[in-house]
Structure 1
Amino acid sequence: MSQSVDVVDVYVGLGSNIGRRLHHLSQGVQDLVDIAMPGSIRCSSLYESDPVGYLNQDSFLNMAVSFKTHLSAHDVLEKLLKIEAARGRVRTIRNGPRTLDLDLLFYGNSRISDTRLQVPHPRITERAFVLCPLRDLDPDLLLEDGQRAGPAAEDAAQRGGIQYVGRFW
C-alpha cells in the first residue's frame, strides 16, 4: 500500500551492461515516468564506465534521472525493484552484469538507513559513473561529504574509467 507524502525530489542512478544497453536505459526512463509527477522528470547525459567490484564483465552505460514524487522512499524503492525485475534484472553476482540497475541516490533531504534502504546512497562520492550524471542534473547538489556534485564529478572523472557518450533525452 502506497503512503502519500509531501512532494519530494528524487534522484535515481541507472546503469546497464547486458545486451541493448541504450534500449534498457530508455525503457527504464519510460518506467520511471510512471512513478514521477507529470512533467517533472529530467535526464542526464549518458556515460560509459568500467565495471566496479566484479570486473569480469562488459562496460556500463550510466545516467541519472531526477523527478518529483508523492511516494514514500520505501515505495519508490519497491517500484524500482519491480522495474528492474520487469526488465530482466537477475541478481546472481554482487555488482555483476545486469540489464537494468536502478539505485535510489537521494530522496529529498532525507537520511534513511535500515535493512532495505540507505539514502543518500552510501557510495555516491566513490563513483564517477554516479557523480557525472548527477552533475548534469544539478552541479550544486550537496553531497554527504560536503562537496557539490559539480566539483566532485570533475575530480572523479580525472581518475578515469568513465567517458562521456552523449545526450539522448
Structure 2
Amino acid sequence: MTRAVIAFGANLGDREATIAQAAAELADTPGVELVAVSPVYETPAIKLSGVDHDAPGYLNGVLLVETELAPLALLDVLQGLEQAHGRVREERWGDRTLDLDLIDYGGARFADARLELPHPRAWQRAFVLQPWLDVDPDAVVAGRGTVAELRAAASDEVRRR
C-alpha cells in the first residue's frame, strides 16, 4: 500500500454534498482506503489571470489514502469521479463542480503527459498545504521541503470553515 495525498475543490453546485459524496465514493473504490479527511477551507477562485473575487469561492481540502493502485490508475479513478459529478473541462483553471488532484504518491517523482508528481504547483498553494498540514504535520513535498515550511511561505488566502 502506498500513501497518496489528493486535493479536493469545488466552487459550483452543492459544494459540501459533492465533496462528501466523492470522498465516500473514493473510500468505496477497491484498492483504496481512506485514512484522513482534512478540515475544509474556503478560498477565492484562482484563474489563469490571478485571483477572481467575482467567481464563486472554492471549498478546498485534502484526503489521505492508502492505495494498491498505481498512480495513473488512481488518476483514472479521480477523473472518473470528477466526470460523474459533472466536471466540465472547457477552461483551464475554470469554475468546477469537483476537482480532484493527485498531489503526492508515496514521495515519488514522476512525469508524463497526464500526470506530474509531486503536483507541480501544490508546494506554492496554501489551499493545498494548510489542509495537508492539518492531517499530516510531518509531510514533505519531494524536492521542495516540508509542508510546514512551504505553508509558512505561501501567501494565498485560506479561511477555515
Shared fold per TM-score greater than 0.5: yes
User: Following superposition of structure 1 onto structure 2, how do residues 73-84 of structure 1 map, counting pairs within 5 Å?
Assistant: 73-84=71-82
Matched, 1:41 2:35: yes
Question: What's the Cα RMSD here?
Answer: 1.6
Q: Which of 41, 58, 61 is equivalent to 2:56?
A: 58
Amino acid in structure 1 at the alignment position of 2:14: R
The answer to whether the 8 A contact 1:35-1:69 is kept is no
Equivalences, count:
157
Match of 2:158 among 137, 156, 162: 162
Partner of 1:11: 5
Change (3 A) 1:119 1:146: closer
Report what 1:103 is aligned to.
101
Question: Partners in 2 of 1:62 and 1:28 — Cα distance?
Answer: 13
Structure 2 SS opposite 1:93: coil
Give deviations 1:121-143, integer Å, cap 9, x for gaps: 00011111100111011121111
In the superposition, the TM-score normalised over structure 1's length comes to: 0.86
Instruction: Tell me the equivalent position of 2:141.
Output: 143
Tell me which stretches of 4 or more aligned residues in structure 1 moved more than 4 Å: 36-40
Quote how far apart the aligned CAs of 1:45 are. Answer: 0.4
Structure 1: runs of 5+ lacking an equivalent: 1-6
Letter in 1 for 2:86: G
Provide the identity percentage: 33
* Residue ranges of structure 2 left out of the alignment (5+ in a row): none
With normalisation by structure 2, the TM-score equals 0.90
